[in-house]
Structure 1
Amino acid sequence: MLIDNPRGGYRFLTGISPFSSGVIAAAGHEIIHATLDAYLPWREGFELIDAHLGGIGRERQALCAIELRCPAPYSMPDFIEFNAGYIELVRSWDLYVGDHNPMARTNVAPEHHPPAEPVLHAFSYTVEAADAPTTFVVSGAGEIPEATLDDNEIIRKGETDPEAMREKAAFVTATMSSRLAAMGAGWDLVTTTDVYTVFMHEGLLEDAVIGAMGAATRHGLRWYRSRPPVIDLDYEMDVRSVRHEIAV
């Protein structure tokens, strides 16, 4: 379900309690993507976001997407515990829309040079822009059905051979396609496609991802040697469409 967030200048696709499935700028607005020059502990990262938004005359509600990095994948109970603290902070910022957390999110564990604690890597926010094209951010998703945090539902759980990874990647690519369609967008508008896995078998992307991307292939595809945030998840993706990428 796509829900208006008029205070934020965007609409969001409902997800689960810690995050939405994606966000798309409302008419007269566009989404800006900002990457930190260096990691910050995630709570300090929110302080940086607050200062940045205040400096450009935007309210906190303009924040629409968060990208986190964690030291290693969580067990499912530990992931749920982390999310509880994250939700508490988001609520304290008065960002919820009714019972929904409207912000998109990606949270992955880098295989090399991981942070010592959960950190903020990047964020996205809306600004007013009368002539803006369609801009959006789709949340990271792994090989588990939508709206569940039950690790028993993981696709091909415990398997990382080429066939299993193709099935996982195809499932996640289909999730991206479904979320894009639900927001009234498509791969033709995507400017950034990110893949997160440590099991990059030969032909994996060609077999399970590139065929679905269509015109988005002209922008290439970025592979992060990282793991999804939950133990036993092996493949994650996110996508976005923005015209302004900045560093902060």
Structure 2
Amino acid sequence: MLIDNPRGGYHFLTGISPFSSGVVASDGHEVVHATLDAHVPWRQGFELIDAHLSATGRGRPALCAIELRCPEPYSMPGFIEFNAGYVELIRSWDLYVGDHNPLARTNVAPAHGPPSEPVLHAFSYTVEAEAGAPTTFVVSGAGEIPEATLDDNEIVRKGETDPEAMREKAGHVVATMGSRLAALGAGWGQVTTTDVYTVFMHEGLLESAVIGQMGAATRHGLRWYRSRPPVIDLDFEMDVRGIRHEITV
């Protein structure tokens, strides 16, 4: 379900309590993507976001997406516990829309040089834009598990990482990206950044399971992060976005 967030200048696709499935700028707005020059602990990161939004003349409701990096994948109970503290902070910012968390999110564990604690990697927010501006959006990270569930028994080919299993996992995730794009009123042709997160990069995996589904988005290439999804037994994650303005803060 796509829900309007008029205070933030965007619509969001409902997801689960810790995050939405994606966001798209409302008419007269666009999404800006900001990557941190250096990682900071995630709670300190929200202080940085608050200061940045204030300096740019935008309030907290303009925040629409968060990207985190964690030291290692969580157990499912551990992931749920982390999300409880994260949700508490989001609620303290008065960002919920009714019972829904509107913020998109990606949270992955780097395989090399992982942080010692969860950190903020990047964030996105809305600004005012000219009438008729191109559609801008962020799709939340998703792994090989059905939408709207945190039941690790539902993981696709759980515990398997051979080439065939990874193709099936990747195919599931690519399909999720496509369905979320469609629900946001966008498509692969409007995607400017495609991110893949896995440590099981078998030969031909991207060609057989991902690139062929990207259509016109292939002109922007694809970025592979040798990282794990945030939950043990998830092995392949993606996120995508369509953005005109990328900045470093």
TM-score, reference length from structure 1? 1.00
Where does residue 47 of structure 2 map in the other structure?
47
Alignment partner, residue 156 of structure 1: 157
Deviation, 1:133, is 1.0
Q: Deviations over 1:75-122 (max 9, x none)?
A: 000000000000000000000000000000000000000000000000
Aligned partner of 1:59 in structure 2 is 59
2:210 is aligned with 1:209: yes
> Which string of whole-angstrom CA distances, capped at 9 and with x for unpartnered residues, describes residues 116-151 of structure 1?
000000000000012421000000000000000000
CA separation in 2, counterparts of 1:244 and 1:58?
Answer: 16
CA RMSD of aligned residues (A): 0.4
SS in 1 for 2:230: coil
Indicate the residue corresponding to 2:189 in structure 1: 188
Q: How many residue pairs were aligned?
A: 248
Q: Deviations over 1:5-56 (max 9, x none)?
A: 0000000000000000000000000000000000000000000000000001
Q: Which amino acid aligns with 1:121?
A: H
Number of the residue aligned with 2:69: 69
In structure 2, what is the equivalent of residue 174 of structure 1?
175
1:229 aligns with 2:230: yes
SS of the residue 1:172 aligns to: helix
* Counterpart residue identity of residue 219, structure 1: H
Counterpart of 2:146? 145
- Aligned residue in 1 for 2:3: 3
Partners of 1:20 and 1:130 in 2: CA distance? 26
Q: Secondary structure at the match of 1:67?
A: strand
Find the aligned partners of 2:215 and 2:57 in 1 and give their Cα distance.
38
Aligned to 1:31: 31
Read off the aligned partner of 1:16 and give its amino acid letter. Answer: I
Specify the code of the residue in structure 2 equivalent to 1:127: V
Alignment pair present for 1:247 and 2:248? yes
Residue segments in structure 1 that go unaligned for 5+ positions in a row? none
Q: Which amino acid in structure 2 is aligned with residue 190 of structure 1?
A: V
SS of residue paired to 1:195 = strand
Q: Percent identity?
A: 85
Provide the residue aligned with 2:105 in structure 1: 105
Q: Deviations over 1:58-90 (max 9, x none)?
A: 010000000000000000000000000000000
Q: Distance in 1 between matches of 2:220 and 2:129?
A: 24
Cα distance between partner residues in 1 of 2:181 and 2:138 = 9
Q: Secondary structure at the match of 1:78?
A: helix
Counterpart position of 2:129:
129
Q: Report the equivalent of 1:18.
A: 18
Give CA-to-partner distance per residue, 1:179-228, whole Å, 9 cap, x none: 00111110000000000000000000011001110000000000000000
Cα separation, 2, equivalents of 1:86 and 1:235:
23
Partners of 2:244 and 2:182 in 1: CA distance: 20
Q: Take 1:205 and 1:155, find their aligned partners in 2: how far apart are those partners?
A: 18
Supply the distance in 1 between the matched residues of 2:137 and 2:185 (Cα, whole angstroms): 10
